[in-house]
Amino acid sequence: MSLDDRWFTEIHAAEGSAFSLKIKAKLHEEQTPFQKIEIYDTETYGKLMIIDGCTMVSTYDNFLYHEMMSHPVLFSHPNPKRVVIIGGGDCGTLREVLKHPGIESAVQVDIDERVTRLSEQYFPELCESNDDPRATLMFDDGIKYVKDLEPGSVDVVIVDSTDPVGPAEGLFSRPFFEDVHRALAPNGLVVQQSESPLYHTDRIIKPMHDMMRAAGFLDVMTITFPQPLYPSGWWSATLACKDMPVMFAREEQAEELPFPTEYYNAAVHRAACASPNFMLKKLMG
Based on the residue annotation, tell me whether 160 is a catalytic residue of this protein. Answer: yes
Q: Determine which one of 61, 90, 160, 179 is catalytic.
A: 160
The region of 40-48, 154-162, 180-188, 269-277 touching ligand SAM under the rule CB under 6 A is 154-162
**The one-letter amino acid at 39:** I
- Residue 86 engages ligand SAM in binding (rule: CB under 6 A): yes
The correct pick among 132, 141, 219, 243 for binding ligand SAM (CB under 6 A) is 141
d(CA 241, CA 219): 5
Supply the minimum distance, in Å, between the C-beta of residue 179 and ligand SAM.
12
Residue 125, helix vs strand vs coil? helix
Angle, to 10 degrees, between the axis of helix 277-284 and the axis of helix 206-214?
A: 40
Q: What are phi and psi of 89, to 5 degrees?
A: -60, -20
Count of residues in contact with ligand SAM, rule CB under 6 A: 23
**65 lines the binding site for ligand SAM (CB under 6 A):** yes
What length does the chain have?
A: 285
DSSP state of 134: T
Helix (H) or strand (E) holding 270: helix 266-272
Which residue in 21, 48, 50, 56 binds ligand SAM (CB under 6 A)?
Answer: 56
For residues 49 and 249, which CB has a smaller minimum distance to ligand SAM in the complex?
49
Instruction: Name the CA radius of gyration of the chain, rounded.
Output: 18
Residue ranges in contact with ligand SAM by CB under 6 A: 34, 56, 65, 86-90, 109-112, 115, 141-143, 160-162, 167-168, 171, 193
Active site residues: 160
